[in-house]
Structure 1
Amino acid sequence: MTDANAEKLYTLHGMWCTSCALAVEGSLKRLEGVREVSVHYPSATLCISGTPAITQLSNLAAKVKRLGYRLTELEPVADAHARLEEESRYLTLRLMVGSLFGMWTMLASLLIYAGALPNVQVEQVVAWVSGAFSLPVVLFAGVPFYRAGWRTLLAKRPGMDVLVSLGVIGAVMVSVWLLWRGSAEVYFDTAVMLIVLLLVGRLVETLCRHRGLKALDALTLPNVNITAWQEKAWISLPVDDVSTGMRVELAPGAMVALDGALEEPGWIDTASLTGESLPRHFQAEQTIYAGCRYLGATPIVMQVSAGVGQRRLDRLCDEMRRYQAKKGELQKLADRFAAWLSPLALGLALLTLPAALLFGLGWEDALVRALSVLVVACPCAVGLAVPLASLAGSGQAMQQGIALRDPAALETLARIRSVALDKTGTLTTGSHAVLHWLAREGFDEQMLQRKLSAAVAGSEHPLAQALARWASNPSDQPPEQCIEVNESPGEGRRVQLSSGEWLTVGSAHWLARQRIVLPAQAEDATLAFASQVVIADEAGWLATLYLTDQPVGDAEPSVKRLLASGYVVAMISGDRQGAVNWLGERVGLPREACYAQRSPEAKARLLQGLPSPTLYVGDGLNDTLSLVAAEVGIAPLSASEAAREGASAQLMTPGVGGVVKLLGIAQRTRRTMVQNLFFSALYNTLALGLVIVMAIPPLIAVLAMAASSLTVTLNAARLAWAEPE
């Protein structure tokens, strides 16, 4: 973010519905220096970008306060849960009042509608009783609608709550006017049902929002006290008080609360962060992240590299909330539709009254017709269509170990046609393993492993470490010991074993420079793509081992699943052609889909030639250009910092199976978005047309409007509560 353009996230308190979000959004957009504003109602988050001065909280809070809302720094996830619980209690109380008194209002109205009363005088009394029971509902349960409606009017963005408020007030005023004229055909039940059914929808929606926050719970850690070195002593400090550079002690079995580098080796359980079922052995100075668990038997010390608020988990959580706060194309379309629908409905209601009178209807019928227009036009379903589906989809992704960063990622992912994959570190583990070996006659595998285990012991070369893993358990016989080492870094080493024997280990070129002659059987031409390590003893050539970077466990099934789903799949790598072809064959890709020896610029150009939209998965610095060039970029678990920053999503579990899962989640999410948007827009458009040309009782209009909103909410909830595929 440059100095000329800052982006901030804040929490907006006091919103009642999407109309409130649009009102604040519209008001802030008019401020000079604001480039973009997005208010996400389900998460109560304001995302604003513009000049650093205008995006300061002090400037924005005053503007928002004049509209009746409150703006604060981005609240922690725990506070968001508490806020939603408070909103739930607030809604439940009003819903209880509305249901209790509304039930008697409805009962009185039903007696009148059914003609079950003996005479007109009794009907008149029951009509007044119906009005009396509606007062607590109208004057208490409906207050949030009136407040929100007034605030949106102040912001010059009248929305759904204005229509609801006018509908309730109109129903009560028409009913009182009819009672005054001596008619018992009142519409207090319409006002009551409008409030009660919308409160039910609000409560269900709040519960969905509560569930949506569960996606962030995986990225939050409890506030605990940890042991830190301060003033030449180990003391207990709250985790918030520990800063970068301090040394902290990790107790056996303790959860790691901060990012840092170990001062000594140790076993770490990374399952909570990566999903790996087996613990990993970390060397000294290796970085571990908050959320892991230390499994050693004795305490070890870690130097903190990131405190609370700067940890990897904190950054992922902020990116997730930034994603939730922004809007994709479908959400912007829904907002535009809801923005013009409310003023249109108000205008139609005002025109309906004189038009009905001109066509010969009486005042009573004309008022009822105008009232029905107000009720049926409430665009609450349109406003909820996309954000709830998006929130549910991002929650599903997080449950599957995928952190979304780009606001439009889910919508774009649903339309992906091509998937391009990097090789090293993405489709492969990034560490070599022995693929094949050749040895001098008379040497078996166990004998070779015993000698090799001693020859490579202590080496930091990646191939030597791979050989050490292969030779780690050669036999029941005690391993040889190394008593002297002469090493040429990056090329090879000569070692003397405890038996007095000398071994030479290294590349074929280096051994040739050591004047060691390699026979013809020392090389297998069919394995030219693999990394080669040669071993020789005092008698000459002893063995040749071929090592390759092995594919991740789920590479083959994931690639085959993508191909079966109709995606164009390609592997683009800077590695040699032989290694790329070998891996492509292992994972099920044809040779024409494997591109080798590509520079970062060539990778990006190649992406432009694939069917669009494109998805690229890469982990290294050389992949950053491709991650930006593709419509959507995904960084695997082991990705570099540069790759993570350039990606739209990050996998938090090993392998590439998360790519397949994310594409499936995106398709289901977009399908839900389109379903919600289509049906809510269709409902409002058709309902407005019908209520103008024919008489629809206000109560029926209320039920239809509430059913539309509830359907949209439950459809999004279905996505959130569905078992992941």
Structure 2
Amino acid sequence: MWCTSCALAIEGSLKRLSGLHDVSVHYPSATLYVNGMPTATGFSVLASHIKRLGYRLTALEPVADAHARLEEESRYLTLRLIVGALFGMWAMLASILIYAGALPSEQVEQIVAWVSGAFSLPVVLFSGLPFYRAGWRTILAKRPGMDVLVSLGVWGAVTVSIGLLANGSSEVYFDTAVMLIVLLLVGRLVETLCRHRGLKALDALALPDGNVNAWQHERWQSLPIGDVSRGMRVELAPGEVVALDGMLESPGWLDTASLTGESLPCYVSSGQSVYAGCRYLGTAPLVIQVSAGVGQRRLDRLCDEMRRYQAKKGEMQKLADRFAAWLSPLALVLAMLTLPVALLLGLGWEEAFVRALSVLVVACPCAVGLAVPLASLAGSGQAMQQGIALRDPGALETLARLRSVALDKTGTLTNGHHSVVDWQARQGVDAANLHRKLSAAVVGSDHPLAQALARWPGSQPTPLKEQVSEQLIEINESPGEGRRVQLESGEWLTVGSISWLAKQHIVLPPQAEDVTQPHASQVVLADADGWLATFYLSDQPVDDAGSSVKRLLASGYVVAMISGDRQGPVSWLAERIGLTREACYAQRAPEAKARLLQALPSPTLYVGDGLNDTLSLAAADVGIAPLNASNAAREGAAAQLTTAGVGGVVRIISIAKRTRRIMVQNLFFSALYNTLALGIVLIMAIPPLVAVLAMAASSLSVTLNAARLAWSEADDGA
């Protein structure tokens, strides 16, 4: 595609096909989005129809191929721009000499006018060829657009100039045709570079191709990453980047900064999931059982979602398209009417043709077509760079008008797993002995609280289960309540809830339970001498929960926490992050969550991670899934955070406001320009060259305004 007119022509032609409910052609990303009956959305059906218009449809290209395509397009534009600038410079110089009256005689002016026409020929015939081709294609699609106006403007200027030369006049307009082509080529080149930069956001989701060490035919061998399928085992060398999603067969330390933004390494236990993009920090090889191959990885899905987002259009883009769709035919009608009206008013043929030519040039809706898509592309690129992957095209526009924000608790405002926040032990027990017995009591347990105790204290360089020196002879476990283990020395240890230890006839002293911490889960450890220690565990808030909530409140949003958890933990967390008790709702079922959300001021944003949040994500105007959200939550959300915490919520709101501001500015000024310019050129004579400069300035201003958003740094305020 050559410009937004091409996109509108393809879109309009496809919309006339039966069986298609929704069609969107996104020019900046060169992507087609269709929704309809299977018989109408088949690739061969769409490709054959598009081919008749002179375009080619291919499968969704990888990011690397998109870069290559835009680089080729940039070289194509650069070559035509060089030819246009080189020959156009001499054509312009000749015209300036004539306009300035710097030539000694009319005969010399006539010769210089012919020279101007000669130098304009390479520009008109070579540099302007893409405009004529695109204009013809849009006519075939019955959606004449900007390129038709450009083509008519160029050839109108050439025709008028040749007619003037034939009549012996040297006041030619070859410079108008040259400037129209050269300035539009400059705008297209700048626009292509902006599109190229928009793809940079997807580079963060692309992993390099290469070979991995996979287990096949009873031995380890190097295989291309594309040949590794689900279920195969892959070996990671120390320092190697994880290339495929999978589950660890043994525990290890991983650097997840590239995927989650975490600055500290993360210890991942065996059986836990790891995702492509992390880096293994261990000293010995680590084996992963692949759960998703190339094309199915989490990063691949995020990339595809971003591409689908770019292909669809929001309300402001649809408004811009509607404006551009009627502007081009209107300009053609006005240009055709200008000629006879000018003649009826007593103007000569020369001036009448010049008036009609100016109408054609000034009406080119380049800026209108670029107003919204470039801003949207820049905004989505900024979002991805800030750790937010957008899926819904209307999300940015809705987020910019947001009034209320509701957040889930567990896994969203909190880490999603418990950790020890306090403890007390029997008098006289030394820390080393306590650590040894606790490690022996919880080692191997799948219970989340037991795993949290195995990680305590957090300052330990290795998990406690690796410090167990005694073998366990016997393990008796009551799922969800507690367990008893017998050490090699014969000693029995008991760990579990207070109520379960009471059933085991273990007498607990008054200090074994701290009633001042109702928010915490209490786990008791006992040995042969009775009560040994009580540990208080809580799901801690994410690092940026408090600061993010405070910024949202300071920005005037209604902020609420809606959770299915108990009132105690909810109230404790609210106090920690700065929410009032009235803004927190505990023990709410999924249906109740959705009803509460709909009662908040609209538009609403909901942030949730679990299966029980899917209804609320659908009920909200915009849903956001945090980093470790379930598949169901991710599918129901309009955006997903790719970094830990909830700070991305504040950042995406800020980006959305700035993006919508750029959209409104672009759309308003481009529409105002075209409307006023058409009115002015109809009532007064404007030289075609001035019309060209004004049209080009409008298009460049829109492009640079969108580029300002792409190149600026997002702030943290909402």
**CA distance, structure 1, for counterparts of residue 459 and residue 695 of structure 2:** 71
Q: CA deviation at 1:314?
A: 1.1
State the Cα RMSD in Å: 1.9
Greater alpha carbon shift after TM alignment, 113-122 vs 224-233:
224-233
Structure 2 residue aligned with 1:540, among 530, 535, 546?
530
Structure 2 residue aligned with 1:160, among 133, 146, 152?
146
Q: CA deviation at 1:499?
A: 6.5
Q: CA deviation at 1:445?
A: 5.8
Render the CA deviation track for 1:225-284: whole Å, top value 9, x for unaligned: 222222233332211122222222222222222222222222222222112222222222
Partner of 1:64: 50
**CA distance, structure 2, for counterparts of residue 592 and residue 499 of structure 1:** 54
Task: Say yes or no: does 1:423 pair with 2:412.
Answer: no
Task: Say yes or no: does 1:718 pair with 2:708.
Answer: yes
Mapped contact 1:453–1:472 kept (Cα < 8 A): no
Q: CA deviation at 1:361?
A: 1.1
Question: How many residue pairs are counted as aligned between the two chains?
Answer: 711
Task: Say yes or no: does 1:396 pair with 2:386.
Answer: no
The TM-score with structure 1 as length reference comes to 0.95
Q: Which runs of 5+ in 1 are unaligned?
A: 1-14
Q: CA deviation at 1:78?
A: 0.9
Partner of 1:207: 193
Quote the sequence identity (%). 79
Distance change in 2, residues 1:443/1:252 (3 Å) = closer
Report the secondary structure of 2:319's partner residue.
helix
Report the secondary structure of 1:654's partner residue.
coil
Render the CA deviation track for 1:158-193: whole Å, top value 9, x for unaligned: 000000000000011111111111111111110000
Partner of 1:380: 366
Mapped contact 2:176–2:688 kept (Cα < 8 A): yes
Q: CA deviation at 1:533?
A: 1.1
Mapped contact 2:313–2:394 kept (Cα < 8 A): yes
Partner of 1:345: 331
**CA distance, structure 2, for counterparts of residue 521 and residue 288 of structure 1:** 42
Q: CA deviation at 1:110?
A: 0.8
Partner of 1:193: 179
Q: CA deviation at 1:651?
A: 0.6
Distance change in 2, residues 1:468/1:249 (3 Å) = closer
**CA distance, structure 1, for counterparts of residue 102 and residue 374 of structure 2:** 44
Q: CA deviation at 1:292?
A: 1.8
Structure 2 residue aligned with 1:103, among 64, 86, 89?
89
Partner of 1:5: none
Partner of 1:11: none
Q: Which amino acid aligns with 2:590?
A: P
Mapped contact 1:451–1:480 kept (Cα < 8 A): no
Q: CA deviation at 1:121?
A: 1.5
**CA distance, structure 2, for counterparts of residue 66 and residue 675 of structure 1:** 37
Alignment of 1:462-611 (within 5 A): 462-471=448-457, 481=470, 483-484=472-473, 485-496=475-486, 501-611=491-601
**CA distance, structure 2, for counterparts of residue 271 and residue 103 of structure 1:** 52
Mapped contact 1:453–1:480 kept (Cα < 8 A): no
Mapped contact 2:388–2:639 kept (Cα < 8 A): yes
Partner of 2:620: 630
**CA distance, structure 1, for counterparts of residue 360 and residue 489 of structure 2:** 96
Greater alpha carbon shift after TM alignment, 491-500 vs 540-549:
491-500
Q: CA deviation at 1:44?
A: 0.5
Partner of 2:608: 618
Task: Say yes or no: does 1:286 pair with 2:264.
Answer: no
**CA distance, structure 2, for counterparts of residue 584 and residue 571 of structure 1:** 8
**CA distance, structure 2, for counterparts of residue 150 and residue 137 of structure 1:** 19
Q: Which amino acid aligns with 2:95?
A: S
Distance change in 2, residues 1:540/1:247 (3 Å) = closer
Structure 2 residue aligned with 1:240, among 226, 239, 259?
226
Partner of 1:672: 662
**CA distance, structure 2, for counterparts of residue 443 and residue 231 of structure 1:** 55
Partner of 1:4: none
Partner of 1:52: 38
Structure 2 residue aligned with 1:682, among 664, 672, 678?
672
Q: Which amino acid aligns with 1:318?
A: D
Report the secondary structure of 1:351's partner residue.
helix
Render the CA deviation track for 1:456-515: whole Å, top value 9, x for unaligned: 33333211222232247689x998746444332321123445676543221111011112
**CA distance, structure 2, for counterparts of residue 470 and residue 338 of structure 1:** 63
Mapped contact 1:455–1:482 kept (Cα < 8 A): no
Report the secondary structure of 1:436's partner residue.
strand
Q: CA deviation at 1:582?
A: 0.3
Render the CA deviation track for 1:592-637: whole Å, top value 9, x for unaligned: 0110000000000000000000000000000000011101111111
**CA distance, structure 1, for counterparts of residue 305 and residue 472 of structure 2:** 53
Distance change in 2, residues 1:479/1:27 (3 Å) = closer
Greater alpha carbon shift after TM alignment, 616-625 vs 124-133:
124-133
Report the secondary structure of 1:549's partner residue.
strand
Q: CA deviation at 1:364?
A: 1.1
Q: CA deviation at 1:442?
A: 4.2
**CA distance, structure 1, for counterparts of residue 546 and residue 287 of structure 2:** 40
**CA distance, structure 1, for counterparts of residue 453 and residue 471 of structure 2:** 15
Structure 2 residue aligned with 1:134, among 110, 120, 129?
120
Report the secondary structure of 1:438's partner residue.
strand
Q: CA deviation at 1:448?
A: 4.1
Structure 2 residue aligned with 1:227, among 198, 213, 223?
213
Mapped contact 2:240–2:280 kept (Cα < 8 A): yes
Task: Say yes or no: does 1:296 pair with 2:275.
Answer: no
Mapped contact 2:34–2:41 kept (Cα < 8 A): yes
Partner of 2:638: 648
Q: CA deviation at 1:150?
A: 0.5
The TM-score with structure 2 as length reference comes to 0.96
Q: Which runs of 5+ in 2 are unaligned?
A: none
Mapped contact 1:480–1:498 kept (Cα < 8 A): no
Render the CA deviation track for 1:395-443: whole Å, top value 9, x for unaligned: 1111111111111111111111111000000000011122233334445
Structure 2 residue aligned with 1:662, among 643, 652, 670?
652
Render the CA deviation track for 1:327-373: whole Å, top value 9, x for unaligned: 00000000000000000000000111111111111111111111100
Q: Which amino acid aligns with 2:497?
A: S
Render the CA deviation track for 1:528-577: whole Å, top value 9, x for unaligned: 22111123334433332221100011111111111111111100000001
**CA distance, structure 2, for counterparts of residue 209 and residue 323 of structure 1:** 15
Structure 2 residue aligned with 1:371, among 344, 357, 361?
357
Render the CA deviation track for 1:52-76: whole Å, top value 9, x for unaligned: 1211111111111111100111111
Partner of 1:76: 62
**CA distance, structure 1, for counterparts of residue 161 and residue 459 of structure 2:** 89
Structure 2 residue aligned with 1:264, among 246, 250, 256?
250
Distance change in 2, residues 1:46/1:553 (3 Å) = same
Mapped contact 1:255–1:293 kept (Cα < 8 A): yes
**CA distance, structure 1, for counterparts of residue 236 and residue 428 of structure 2:** 50
